Structures are given as structure tokens and as C-alpha cells.
A and B are shown apart, each in its own frame.
Chain A
């Protein structure tokens, strides 16, 4: 089936070459980091996780979001999702590839990475995160590939894929729950020390993942002869709508608890993000734009007339996707580290080189996504045409 990926038109190859160039530049920037250490990043003694881990966290969500097409189709026999289920699964694969790359570029000693397997530590949440992330990646590759192959040969997928598909559902919930547990089980970080963190992660994931999927459907419609189906996209947009409202609701619950109880160890972080703390306010405009984008996107999706507008739908989805990225990617990680456990304020901003490496990882993910989507859409074109 992979031979499909080497047959493409000019646009396809230009896009692939573009991605390869970005990957190349990112790799050079990473080589420099590899030899000189993480000193090239904006991270510090006080803010010891930055852009890499933030993007990792966000993309775990995008990967988990794929389950929002799997559940309706496989558990509720919702036929309209038949055409896009594979897109959700392949989006999960590409996102997970990026997640794993982000973990690797964040390590101080990447060559010792396998120590996690050599000395398995069941008390560490990172151990479980490794298990569920790799498990979910494996499941989605196998399921996506086998189901697509069956469709190409116009036969039923092998029976053993069914239990794997059912297994992939708790795994999707699992990857983001365990990723939240990385943060919310730490006693000294008041910002993350909240039981709502995992539900909030899931809600924002189930908004960001499907929102991105809708945008991808638009791109597929434009560049291929395969039509994912307007009705499927409309159903997806309702899922995005409910999920983003849940995310905002959970956030407001957090705001209430933090401000009404007024406990300083919890309040200072939110104060820093939303209003600034002791004159430090680098993230304030970002956070407000993020929440305004998520809120406005939610309103646009609630109103049926706007939701079913072909031009406005991708705009609303983009706003929600970017808003969720700011919330989780920028605020969630930095917010936990500022102020520090000693209540010193050290602000964080990624360096240019850090951003280039990040873009390189994204380009690698998009390369995987492009190839997988090329396979999926070509097979669907063949079958339907």
C-alpha cells in the first residue's frame, strides 16, 4: 500500500520537499542542542519544562481526540463517520510521533533514553505514560493500516481488529489521563494540584482534536477527489462545541475554587497568568486571547446557523484549536512553574532555536500525516471512484 505515497502531483511533492527542508533545519538546530545542552533553550532552574513539554502535552490531546470519531462509529454504528474514522486514527498516529519526538528533544541525556526500560519504575507516572503512549501508537498503526487495507481489497477487516479497536478507546482516554497525572500528582505545585486537571485535559483534547480534523477535512476536499462528507463534519463540529464548553466550564470551576478559597499557593499561579504577578505579566495577553478565542469559537458553534456556514466553520475551529493550544501549550506548563516553589518569579519564553526545533518536530509529524492521509484518500478515491 505504501507505493501510493510515491505517486503524487506537483503540489504534493512541493509540500513534501517543504516539510523535509523544515525537518532539515530543525535537525541542524537540534544537533547544536545535542552537543551543547539545553542551554540553548529559554528554560531555567525555576522553569525547568518549557515549549517542548508544552507542545507534547497539547499533542497528546490531539491524539486522544481521534477517539471522538472512533466511539460514534464503532460503538454506536454511526455510519456517517465511516469515511473519516481512518482520518482520526491516522491523525492520532502523527500526533503521537510528534509527542515522542518532543520527549526525546527535551531529554538532557537522550542517549540514555532506554534507561526507562532498563530500570522500570512503577511509582513514576512517566513510566505509565511511556506504556500508554506507545500502546496507543501501536494500536492506531495496526488498526488504521488493516482497516484501510481491507477497504482497498473490498473485504471485511480481519476479525481480530475489533477487540483492538475497542481496546484503543480506553487507551485514548488513558494517554491524556496519565499525562495529566504527570502534573497533578506533584505536591508542591499548586497550579496543577487539582483533580479537575485530567477531565479538563480530556475536554480540551476532545475539542482541539476534532476541530483540527474538521480543518483537515476542508483541506482534503480542496486537494483530493475524496469527500469526507459535510454531515460528518457537522456532527464533528457539535462534538467540538460540547467539548470546548466543557473545557471552559472546568476552567471556571478552577477559577472559582482558587479565588473563592483564596489559598495563596494556588492563587498566585492563576493570578500570574490572568493578571500578572508582582509586575510580571508576559503571558497575560496570550491567556486572554486564548480564552476569548475559545469562548467566541464556542458561541459560533452553538448557533446552528453559524455552525452550518461553510465559510465560518473552519474559522471557528481554528479559533478553538489555537485557543486550546495557548491554554495548554503556553499557560499550563509555564503557569505551574511561576512563581517557583520559593515564590521567586522567573518568567519563561522559548528562544528562537527552541522554536526552530519545535517546528522541525511539527514538520516531521506533518510528513507522517501527509503520507498517511495520502494513502487513505487515494484508497477511498479508488474504492468510491
Chain B
């Protein structure tokens, strides 16, 4: 019995060994006819680069009209769903009613005491009550969301941009609990019925994944400025925080600026000139 099973094992092992030997040969044959499918890095020569991307928002230059322009530019071109959009019932029959508390947003305006709850002040200067403060992902140097993500679907790029792989995200929403700025949204439902016109230059998301501002990494790679910068009429500037000669470093040198919840040590890369 023992002898027999051993012989059987050797036989199976032998067949397996042949298989192992055959695999590389077959791969070789396959590669010969089609060529190795190798990913090629294609870097645009005009791409904008930085050691650490940052943003400066000059709040004094903003008003409600510009704020709306900024949000629209970003949301429309990133295929962010708008739950107030009337659904095309022919294309998307059986779309259920919307829960507006489950909305998705990347950049939007807040009042001062919501954007800076730790700087709430009884005697705040009058004009601050009316200024729109644009809030978005802070692309923190020490991003709590990156630390929390159990699959590295959210990660920090070398140039400081905190970005997401929508196809790896499992939708656990740990990052949303971790973010101290409420910058993240979850797709509680399929967003596509609520996109008026799909922008083919950016992927739409599926239900069940988290999303947020990506500092228009896809545009920087083509040498273009982020949508919010273009729509802001000069109020928003992005640039290299590590380069002392950059525009944003110049702005920060010449103006007093604040960041959101600085005391938490997350090192936000978005500065507000007030």
C-alpha cells in the first residue's frame, strides 16, 4: 500500500515536472509570435512637475459666482454626479429616488466657521461671514487616509498628490472616517444616471468606491493647469511648495495664510490667504 502510493506520487510529480519545464518554452513560443506585452512609460515633455504640489487660494478674490464656476468646472469635467440632475428615464429606467445626504463632491464652498471650525470666533471680522471658502482634498503630507487604506487604493505620489485607484478600492470607507476635512465622497449608488454629459477624458466611477479631488493629475501630466485654477479668475494657484522660486512660494512669502486644522499634524498642502 505504502509502496504503491509512493510510486503514484512519483509519477504525478514527474508529470508536474514536465509541465514546469514546458511552461517557459510555451511562453517563448507565444512571445515569439506576438512580442512581449510590455508596458511603456510615456511621459509628456510638457508635463508640469513638482517636488511637492501645493495650492494657494486667495479668498479675497472669490465671490459666489466664481465659487460656483470653480465647482462646476471641476465636477463636470471629472464626471462627478449631480443628484439634482433630471435622470433620462429612457436610458436609465428604474432609477430610485435620490438621498441628497449621499451626494458626491470634490470642491465646494463653505462658510468660514465650517471650513475652519477650530477658528470659530464670536467677533469674526464681518467680511469673513460672507466670503466663500473653497474646500477640497488637502493633499496632506501626512495623509491619514493613506495610512488607513487597507489596500493602498489611496496613496501618496512622490510629488505629494494624494490619489486613488478606483479599481482597487473595496469601499470600506475607512479613509472617510480618517479624513479630518470631510473631503471624501462615497458612491452609494451608480453615479452615471446623474452625469449630464460624460467627459470622455476622465473615467466615470462605479458604485461602491470612494472618490475625491486628484489635483487634476491627469491635466498636470499634459502640461495643463487644474480645472479649478482655470475657472478661478486668478484666485487659485498651484505650484511647487519645495521650490523657493515658485509662484505659490512667492505668494506665501508675501501674504499671511492659514491651513485647515493645522494642529493635527497632517500638513495640508492647501493654503488660504485671508
Q: Are B188 and A38 in contact (CB under 8 A)?
A: yes
Q: Report A301-344 CB contacts with B as 1/0, cut-off 8 Å.
A: 00000000000000000000000000000000000110011111
> Which of A106-114, A134-142, A253-261 binds B?
A106-114
Contact pattern, A 226-267, Cβ under 8 Å of B = 1, otherwise 0: 000000000000000000000000000000000000001100
The docked-state distance in angstroms from the alpha carbon of A340 to that of B174 is: 15
Q: Which residues of A contact B172 (CB under 8 A)?
A: 103, 106-108, 126
Complex interface: chain B residues within 8 A of A103 (CB): 172
Q: Are A46 and B150 within 8 A (Cβ)?
A: no
Least CB distance from A1 to B in Å reads 28
Is B208 touching A108 in the complex (CB atoms < 8 A)?
A: yes
The interface residues of chain A lying within 8 Å CB-to-CB of B146 are 123
Residue numbers in B under 8 Å from A195 (CB-CB): none
On whether the beta carbons of A39 and B189 are closer than 8 Å, the reply is: yes
B191, closest chain A residue (CB)? A37
**In the complex, are the beta carbons of B152 and A341 less than 8 A apart?**
no
Q: Who on chain A is nearest to B178 by CB?
A: A186
B161 contacts the other chain (CB 8 A):
no
Contact of A109 among B101, B185, B209, B264 (CB under 8 A): B209
Shortest beta-carbon distance from B62 to chain A in Å: 18
Question: A124 and B188 in contact (CB under 8 A), knowing A109-B208, A186-B177?
Answer: no
Q: How far is the CB of A268 from chain B (nearest CB, A)?
A: 9
Q: Total A-B pairs in contact (CB under 8 Å)?
A: 155
Q: How far apart are the CA atoms of A264 and B117 in the complex, in Å?
A: 9
The answer to whether A342 touches B110 (Cβ under 8 A) is yes
A182 to B148, CA, bound (A): 8
Q: Is the CB of A189 within 8 A of B177?
A: yes
Give the shortest distance, in Å, between A104 (CB) and chain B (any CB).
10
Residues of chain A lying within 8 A (CB to CB) of residue B229: none
B150 touches A108 (CB 8 A): no
Pick the residue among B101, B135, B149, B173 that contacts A49 (CB under 8 A).
B173
The verdict on A107 contacting B171 (CB below 8 Å), with A124-B148, A187-B265 known, is yes
Bound-complex Cα distance A130 to B190 (A): 28
A113 touches B101 (CB 8 A): no
Contact with B along A98-138 (1 / 0, CB 8 A): 00000100111110110110110101111100100000000
Min distance, Cβ B48 to any Cβ of chain A, angstroms:
29
Contact A109 B170 (CB under 8 A): yes
Neighbouring A residues of B176 by C-beta, 8 Å: 48
Given contacts A37-B207, A108-B208, are A188 and B102 in contact (CB under 8 A)?
no
Are B152 and A45 in contact (CB-based, < 8 A)? no
Q: Report how many residues on chain B are interfacial, defined by Cβ distance under 8 Å.
A: 53
Residues of A within 8 A of B182 (CB): 45-46, 340-342, 344
Beyond A188-B264, A341-B180, whether A37 also contacts B208 by CB under 8 A is yes
Let me know if A124 and B101 touch, CB within 8 A: no
Q: Which residues of A contact B206 (CB under 8 A)?
A: 109
The CA-CA distance from A264 to B96 in the complex, in Å, is 39
Known interface pairs A36-B189, A121-B151; A44-B101 also in contact (CB < 8 Å): yes
Contact of A39 among B99, B105, B210 (CB under 8 A): B99
Q: Cβ of B198 < 8 Å from any Cβ of A?
A: no
Specify which of B101, B168, B177 lies most central, judged by the most chain A CB atoms within 10 Å of its CB: B177
Task: Enumerate chain B residues within 8 angstroms of A125, measured Cβ to Cβ.
Answer: 148
Q: When the two chains form their complex, are residues B117 and A343 in contact, meaning their CB atoms are under 8 A apart?
A: yes
Q: Mark B174-208, 1 if CB is under 8 A from A, else 0.
A: 10111111100111111000000000000000111
A45 touches B102 (CB 8 A): yes
Contact A116-B170, Cβ < 8 Å, known A43-B188, A44-B99, A265-B118: yes
Of B118, B152, B208, the contact of A121 (CB 8 Å cutoff):
B152
A344-B114 contact in complex given A121-B152, A186-B144, C-beta closer than 8 Å: yes
Q: How far is the CA of A346 from the CA of B103 in the complex (A)?
A: 13
Q: Mark B209-224, 1 if CB is under 8 A from A, else 0.
A: 1100000000000000
Q: Which residues of A contact B177 (CB under 8 A)?
A: 48-49, 183, 186, 189, 336-337
What residues of A have a CB within 8 angstroms of the CB of B186 in the complex?
38, 45, 48, 108
B173 touches A48 (CB 8 A): yes
> Using a CB-CB cutoff of 8 Å, which residues 90-136 of chain B contact chain A?
96, 99, 101-105, 110, 113-115, 117-118, 120, 135
Contact with B along A144-172 (1 / 0, CB 8 A): 00000000000000000000000000000
Q: List 9 A-B contacts (CB under 8 A).
A: A44-B102, A107-B171, A108-B208, A109-B171, A123-B146, A126-B148, A264-B118, A342-B114, A342-B117
Task: Name 11 extra pairs, CB < 8 A, besides A112-B168, A130-B150, A346-B101.
Answer: A37-B188, A45-B186, A108-B187, A109-B208, A112-B170, A119-B168, A121-B150, A183-B177, A337-B177, A340-B182, A344-B182
